[in-house]
Structure 1
């Protein structure tokens, strides 16, 4: 199929989408310069103890699973806009904890875990619900292509910037740069509309819905997506850092070049998501993503990192784009239950990250770090379950294709 600029001429954005995504980009830039180097920082601080680092991140995601329903309950009291605004100081404090690490490592670790969990609890459900409400379903794939292309530009430059700063002046200055950017992230949120939702589940009812048979596709699909994200978060940065013998600038440069090679694919995939069936795109993406994980087992050099990660990136682009569009479509299709769907999805994703990190933390005692790539490949297969229509609330949990609430 031939891709044309004309395919994107009918795509427009509401002011709320632009303001919301501007906030997202600032947060992404602030966290992005630290990015993969945060895991490496903790890896070095704990004397290359991968199981301990895995346990730290697993605790963050487990606490997120526990607290996410409480965060959703606050939406009816404060509104989504105010909750996101309240989350930004905690994002700031998570990086501040790293900056102050040498003063008291134990206290800084507690601050990192606490601040990150509260930020995630207050921010992500309102963000996803707002984006689902503000974006246009008919062109959502192409909207996401354009926005994610801009996001990719940030993603391209931040590893290189981070690696350069660490090489030139160390981690402290890196954290200062990150903190400076995060200070401005709250500003765009003041310009979006305030939205309220009433979370319909009680705390324990949320878990009943999450683990119910009728929501099994949602649970397994997003748990699989979270599991492979957990490997990307923890194992991949440590793996390439060890392979490249601690060269921070090279780690950042290879990461940036790989992402640059994938930038144009955002537009191609976004057009396919809008034109092809969700099932077709998600299935192709999962196939590419799964084989990409398996091929990573054979990486031995820096050049192979670039070639194989670019191939895997192709699968991740197709997979993540289709998952994102599927998620926002599923959310809006749930009407009044849009926040309930989003909460269940976020809990499943964080549960997947928790499980994979605990498994990796144990398996690493007996096998090579590369075994995590095989586990991620298996987990990625579960993402195809998101092809199934999912409706939450009042016995409308599974609806045939084409039927809308």
Structure 2
């Protein structure tokens, strides 16, 4: 576990504590619907698989083209206002989702959702980089993940219960209220601004190629884990509650392991070692997933994927933040990373759209994670 004085130190860093509370509420709210959105479109609204993939394709394309816009907004109006704007965007996105029974504006919903997601993460990353401490960044990232996973632990099981007994409309209303609450803690301190200088050459320069590959595959991993995996699990389990239970147990495992990773994250070399070996073990889980059949097997493999990814994800963010801090433009590096990840998202959604199969996304994701070991 993290030592007590370290935990107290992080919680009494005013800006970081605001972010911890904000992201816990935000992740609690969005995790109540996040894994269920593709299922909602497929099962409740009876959209075709192609239509669902088109939804996430436009979502990803919107993220790609709004990265620069989000950074420019932050430079002029500030990080906290960027996050607040994203929350209102999420509320519009969720409201449109909840009313899709009455209209067919699912592409508009996807576009608003993608833009909102970009505005949130571009500003969150900028805020975290600004106020985190280089010597303790790995532990501070670990604390963020632990707090966030508490929300992710409760969200899926709460969401599945609400869907089962009260329906999607009630769930959407609750999520909107929590999203509004999540933005309030950020305004207990003054606004901060981050200037932006960005060049597309970052994506193609030889010195950035390894980083570009890592960020591309990170985008692939996020889309496979957030879209393909929930669909795969639901059609094997055929119950919202079972899917929510598995997701919550996976989050519990991630919380426990997050303490260990935080304690081990003492320097960048150690973080790189965890990242490399974590990606190797994580890649194996995606190949094992191809052969599971029963609820127990699905639960075990999903928990394994969540735990092994913590060894990847915490070092990944800590290293990313350190690189951004050393870069001549913090916001420019954030935008570069987001654009690379969005290209990865678009790529893997196109694979699923063109093939009509989820299995290829698991294989590509597993291969990509495997090659991270050699970086």
Calculate the TM-score normalised by the size of structure 1.
0.87
The structural deviation recorded for 1:183 is 2.0
Matching of residue 251 in structure 1 with residue 243 in structure 2: yes
The answer on 1:371 being equivalent to 2:370 is: no
Aligned to 2:231: 238
Aligned residue for 2:10, secondary structure, equals coil
Equivalent-residue separation in structure 1 for 2:37 and 2:140 (angstroms)? 31
| Structure 1 residue 370, shift from structure 2 partner | 2.7
Matches within 5 A, 1:238-387: 238-245=231-238, 247-274=239-266, 277-334=270-327, 336-364=328-356, 369-384=358-373
Q: Can you list the C-alpha shifts for 1:248-293, whole angstroms capped at 9, x where unaligned?
A: 1111112212322332100111112225623211111111111111
Report if the CA contact (8 A) 1:58-1:354 is conserved.
yes
The answer as to whether partners of 2:126 and 2:194 remain within 8 angstroms in 1 is no
Map Cα deviations across residues 36-57 of structure 1 (whole Å, 9 max, x no partner): 1111101125636223212211
CA contact (8 A) 1:220 1:382 kept: no
Query: Secondary structure at 1:193's aligned position in 2?
Result: coil
Distance verdict in 2 for CA 1:75–1:48, change over 3 Å: closer
Greater C-alpha Rg: 1
The answer on whether the counterparts of 1:282 and 1:318 sit within 8 Å (CA) in structure 2 is: yes
The whole-number CA distance in structure 2 between the counterparts of 1:25 and 1:230 is 21
Aligned to 1:396: none
Q: Which moved more, 1:68-77 or 1:207-216?
A: 207-216
Equivalent residue, structure 2, for 1:85: 84
Q: Distance in 1 between matches of 2:81 and 2:213?
A: 32
**Which residue of 2 is the match for residue 41 of structure 1?**
40
Q: Is the 8 A contact 2:10 2:16 kept in 1?
A: no
Q: Cα 1:212–1:313, aligned 2, differ >3 Å: closer, same or farther?
A: same
Between Structure 1 and Structure 2, the one with more helix by share is 2
Tell whether the 8 Å contact from 1:11 to 1:139 is kept in structure 2 after alignment: no
Question: Which residues of 2 match residues 108-119 of structure 1 at below 5 A?
Answer: 109-119=106-116
Distance in 2, matches of 1:164 and 1:74, equals 38
- Residue deviations 1:323-369, cap 9 Å, x none? 111111111122x41111100001111111111111122222xxx53
TM-score normalised per structure 2: 0.93
Distance in 1, Cα, partners of 2:77 & 2:90: 19
